[in-house]
A and B are shown apart, each in its own frame.
Chain A
């Protein structure tokens, strides 16, 4: 067992990061996918995660939302989400605490994962009504505003099966935003889309970056997009951050050899 006393019960101070990974290790059985990860993300920062498949980049997002970790602590807004306080120390969080702690986080998936038996509007209202306990009227208003924001208001009564991939992904973004998250996670949200509709999704994300003070963590294969909108880019390799920095620096003057290899491989594939 790990000695938990080295991790603070919560992060305090003037400049507490919105998301903070402290010495985090994640393994599936005997396969370690992320090792001793330390990563801080400031409030309002847009961080892109790039890297070859199997580098652990998607796992970074999944640990915040879907999975338990083997070592270390993740803090969101200064509070631990993977652990809870008990008798003055940190113990692994139980399901109930975990659910509550993850409420300030929203996530969008590669395959949208909209609820197929609900309309676009019902998809957006589900969280606010069932989890936040909002009235249906208030939830409907909020959801309609968000569907307007992503340009899907005229399709609000359609089921996902009647929508294109790009449209479904935009509804999925609205659904996540309806929970008023402080942190948004985008997991390869354009990877399953036809090339001609990628723009409509990236435009929505650009709009969020420009107009909202959301903290965002995005795994992507679209280097151009990552370069355009990120404040910082992290290149993952072999379960570790190999290199990170502002997009101009990382894309135009990568320092590490592996980063250079990866970027040139991506470029020649384009």
Chain B
């Protein structure tokens, strides 16, 4: 086997891959946005006094976490139309990946919320703060710093899972690299570039998460 790297081909495909990177970032960002909000809803609904709701949400989270993401993507995209829900690859992909990661993030939030000392709840009671204000103003701001490391991990995780969306034809990085490969029969350059691009995006993301965690802790006065 010969290892021949062709620079002219590399420069030729780079613009295509870079524009696909935008799609990857968009997919990861939108999916993460869904996951952040939905995850909080899942975490909070497990803390209500309604036993049945808690049980259903708990089982839902376990179900999502114990089945493969790619299956969930297929399910939304291919099974959806059979029950009358017809969605574009992009929408299906966002829903599937957002749902998948919301289950994981709900566990992160759950841990964070549990880490707030019981005395804080008692202080809120003693001030007659409503449940809503207790959560928004006192509990969640204190739970947040404890959640940050986990949230950051899943941000990098969701980024690395976006190639899964290529299976239903979302034109993100992996999908584009595959297309280049099947057009030109050259796989070395596109796949290598995809790897490098992921590395270039992931590393600063992890750093940014760490910096923003420190910033939030300082802002909240908790170290």
Contact = CB atoms under 8 A, between A and B. Distances in A.
Interface in B87-138: 117, 119-120, 122-123, 125-131, 133, 137-138
B48 to A, nearest CB: 12
A119 B221 contact: yes
A66 B128 contact: no
Interface string A99-128: 110110111010101111111000000110
A113 B123 contact: yes
B127 A66 contact: no
B105 to A, nearest CB: 21
Nearest to B217: A117
A131 B221 contact: no
Nearest to B222: A116
A221 interface: no
Contacts of A131: 127-130
B123 A115 contact: yes
The secondary structure that dominates the B interface is helix
Contacts of A105: 126
A175 B138 CA distance: 15
Interface in A210-247: none
A127 B221 contact: no
B7 interface: no
Interface string A172-199: 0001100100000000000000000000
A65 B126 contact: yes
Contacts of B126: 65-66, 102, 105-107, 109, 113, 176
A115 B120 contact: yes
A117 B142 contact: yes
Interface of A: 65-66, 95, 99-100, 102-103, 105-107, 109, 111, 113-119, 126-127, 130-131, 159-161, 175-176, 179
30 contacts: A65-B122, A65-B125, A66-B126, A95-B131, A100-B128, A102-B125, A102-B126, A106-B126, A107-B122, A107-B126, A109-B119, A109-B122, A109-B126, A113-B122, A116-B221, A117-B141, A117-B142, A117-B220, A117-B222, A126-B127, A126-B129, A126-B137, A130-B129, A130-B133, A131-B129, A131-B130, A159-B221, A161-B222, A161-B223, A175-B127
Given A109-B126, A161-B221, 20 more contacts: A66-B122, A103-B128, A109-B122, A111-B119, A113-B120, A113-B123, A114-B123, A115-B142, A116-B221, A117-B141, A117-B142, A117-B221, A126-B129, A130-B127, A131-B130, A160-B221, A161-B222, A161-B223, A175-B127, A176-B126
